[in-house]
Amino acid sequence: MSENGPWGKVLTIDTMNPTVKKVEYAVRGPIVQRAVQIEKELREGVKKPFAEVIKANIGDAHAMGQQPITFFRQVLAMCSYPELLNDSSFPEDAKHRARRILQSCGGSSLGAYSASQGIDCVLQDVARYIERRDGGIPCNPENVYLTTGASDGIMTMLKLLVCGEDEGRTGVMISIPQYPLYSAALAELGAVQINYYLNEDKCWSMDLSELKRSLKEARRHCNPRALCIINPGNPTGQVQSRDCIEDVIRFAAKERLLLMADEVYQDNVYAEGCEFHSFKKVLFEMGPEYSDSVELVSFHSTSKCYMGECGFRGGYMEIINMDPEVKAQLNKLVSVRLCPPVPGQALMGLVVNPPQPGEPSYINFIKERSATLSALAEKARLTEEILNTVPGISCNPVQGAMYSFPSISLSKAAIEEAANDQAPDMFYCMRLLEETGICLVPGSGFGQKDGTYHFRMTILPPMDKLKVLLTKVKDCSLLPLPGHQGECWRTDKNHKLNK
């Protein structure tokens, strides 16, 4: 007889949803749990070879000290407590935005449910933003859905799409390395994950031949129906070229794949010669042969770019060429959850409709935005530069987004040492955490070619901490591996790419 009566629990690991068990999410996995524990130990006075944990595991700008955009927060404060609309210390443009948002809310309150698709004036503003971004290509607000962060939109779209059994089961192509929301969502939905590999030798670009190989192989055992792209890339920090995006669109059209473009880093482009091209713009510039037929969903969020407002869980998706009957089903599906968080909707509305030239907040807004983006550009450059001086580490340029995903050449001894119970790069990251307090995520959490090892680090820590982090990563490569006759963690084999 178990401790819980004659039959034990109703809900056990053996009787729970098997698809949930298959879900993995490295960004908040064992490394981060251990980091939190170590922080607690440090607070309790446990002696460590370092004074603080530096977290570079998650794209969480504010947690790393980035300051919010003043204008956004002023408007949100007034929306939360409309008495402040009478406070003369707030600028008029901020008041105007707050009034406009409140007028679009039930009972003029952030506390009312919005329409499930989102607050009307925000949908309008998103549509105008997309039109400006894409050089005037029209956007119908009816095709815009506000979401609870981009994750929610991605999950909703995948949910609509998944069907079939056995060899007819829906397959979804995702890049490897990928952001593990995708693999987690596919596992949860019981869909088939189809891996296509980004080309590390060509700065993590997408490769048409690899897409073809991956699709051909997948067609043997499932029904591939969608292709997901993250651009700028997470965890790999590349910015796809216009040519590459055209190739991908032609491929999707020919192979009948719905495109899901995760474009949450659309303002995070640092490298010279790189530019963000939205999938929608490229699609429409390719002419009606494509723009009238290819089904595309594009995702954006308040969490990244220069604002980094992750906690508000704001986001939107734009659907293009969706079947009207499916759209009706999408409307129904989102209505069950009532609405995305209204403060996040309001924030999304501000992101797409920031202060304009001539408005009182404009100069300060531009100053704050530029400061953040140029600091990120500088950190991207520095990260690449320093990592590439480290023996055994090779790092592509961080062209965009917020991450570096360097390849690490682990010593045979380290691989052996790890082999028993974890992936070698998990072993590496865990040891790095224990010895230096640096919290990175192993490449195995994102996927990588067999026999290669990587880690993902964000470029978000403040400059002084980023330098400490990079120095520690560098120094640690020379530390001997206990019990392996002076062998080090990493080999000093210098397999630089793009040099």
Binders of a second copy among 34-53, rule CB under 8 A? 36
Identify which of residues 347 and 476 has a Cβ nearer to a second copy in the complex: 347
Asked if 56 and 469 count as a contact pair (C-beta separation under 8 A), the reply is yes
Phi and psi at residue 192, to the nearest 5°: -95, 125
Stretch that binds a second copy, among 183-191, 192-200, 210-218, 477-485 (CB under 8 A): 183-191
User: Which of 172, 210, 206, 200 is closest to 188 using CA atoms?
Assistant: 172
Distant-in-sequence contacts of 356-365, Cβ < 8 A, 24+ apart: 356/93, 359/91, 359/93, 360/91, 360/92, 360/93, 361/70, 361/71, 361/74, 361/91, 361/93, 361/94, 362/93, 364/70, 364/71, 365/69, 365/70, 365/71
Please give the structure tokens belonging to residue 21: 């068990």
Query: What residues between 433 and 492 interact with a second copy by CB under 8 A?
Result: none
The yes or no reply on residue 134 touching a second copy (CB under 8 A) is: no
Residues 17-36 contacting a second copy, CB under 8 A? 17-18, 20-21, 23-25, 27-29, 36
Query: Which residue of 112, 366, 371, 463 would you call a contact of a second copy, by CB under 8 A?
Result: 112
| Minimum CB distance to a second copy, residue 240 (Å) | 22
Among 343, 355, 406, 461, which residue interacts with a second copy (rule: CB under 8 A)? 343
424, two tokens: 């070698």
Q: Is 17 exposed, middle or buried (0-12, 13-18, 19+ CB in 10 A)?
A: exposed
Residues in contact with 38: Cβ distance below 8 Å, sequence separation at least 6, in sequence order: 48, 53, 433, 434, 437
Would you count residue 147 as binding a second copy (CB under 8 A)?
no
**Of the candidate residues 110, 121, 144, 352, the single one contacting a second copy (CB under 8 A):** 110
Residue in 31, 54, 56, 61 binding a second copy, rule: CB under 8 A: 61
On whether the CB atoms of residues 172 and 155 are closer than 8 A, the answer is: no
Region from 112-120, 201-209, 355-363, 398-406 binding a second copy, contact rule CB under 8 A: 112-120
Question: Which of 325, 421 has the CB closer to a second copy?
Answer: 325
For a second copy, the closer CB: 341 or 391? 341
- Give the C-alpha separation, 25 to 11, whole Å: 22
Tell me if 63 contacts a second copy by CB under 8 A: yes
- Cα–Cα distances (Å) from 316 to 116, 154, 313, 352, 395, in that order, read 12, 10, 10, 11, 32
User: Which residue type is seen at 44?
Assistant: E
Q: Does 109 bind a second copy (CB under 8 A)?
A: yes
Binding positions for a second copy, 369-428, rule CB under 8 A: none
Report the residue number, 3 or 166, with the smaller CB distance to a second copy: 3
Strands 314-320 and 407-408: unpaired
479: left (phi over 0), alpha (psi -120 to 50) or beta: beta
Residue bearing tokens 């303002």: 267
Binding region for a second copy (CB under 8 A) out of 77-85, 195-203, 213-221, 399-407: 77-85
Please report how close the Cβ of residue 390 comes to a second copy at its closest, in angstroms. Answer: 28
Among 42, 48, 50, 62, binds a second copy (CB under 8 A): 62
Q: Which is nearer to a second copy, 369 or 490 (CB)?
A: 369
Of residues 104 and 214, the one with the C-beta less far from a second copy: 104
193 near a second copy, rule: CB under 8 A: no
Tell me whether residue 327 or residue 381 sits nearer to a second copy (CB atom). Answer: 327
23: its two tokens: 């879900």
> In angstroms, what is the minimal distance from the CB of 480 to a second copy?
35
**Could you say which of 39, 48, 50, 60 contacts a second copy (CB under 8 A)?**
60
**Residues within window 219-278 making contact with a second copy, judged by CB under 8 A:** 225-226, 253, 256-258
Judged by CB under 8 A, does residue 84 bind a second copy?
A: yes
Site string for a second copy, 279-298 (x = CB under 8 A): -------------xx-x---
Which one of 40, 111, 370, 389 is in contact with a second copy (CB under 8 A)?
111
DSSP H helical ranges for 104-258: 120-133, 149-161, 181-189, 208-219, 242-255
For a second copy, the binding residue among 1, 5, 464, 499 (CB under 8 A) is: 5
d(CA 445, CA 179): 9
Binding mask 298-327 for a second copy (x = CB under 8 A): ---------xxxxxxx-------xxx-xx-
Quickly tell me which residue has 């919005």 as its tokens.
Answer: 114
Rounded Cα distance, 361 and 94, in Å: 8
> For residue 397, which phi and psi values (nearest 5 degrees)?
-60, 140
Number of residues that bind a second copy (CB under 8 A): 100
Part in contact with a second copy (CB under 8 A); list of ranges 194-202, 331-339, 398-406, 407-415: 331-339
Cis-peptide, bond into residue 30, ω within 30° of zero:
no
- In angstroms, the CA 109 to CA 283 distance is 39
Stretch that binds a second copy, among 114-122, 138-146, 242-250, 412-420 (CB under 8 A): 114-122
Phi, psi of 2 (to 5 degrees): -75, 170
> Nearer to a second copy by C-beta: 20 or 463?
20
For residue 457, what is the DSSP state? E
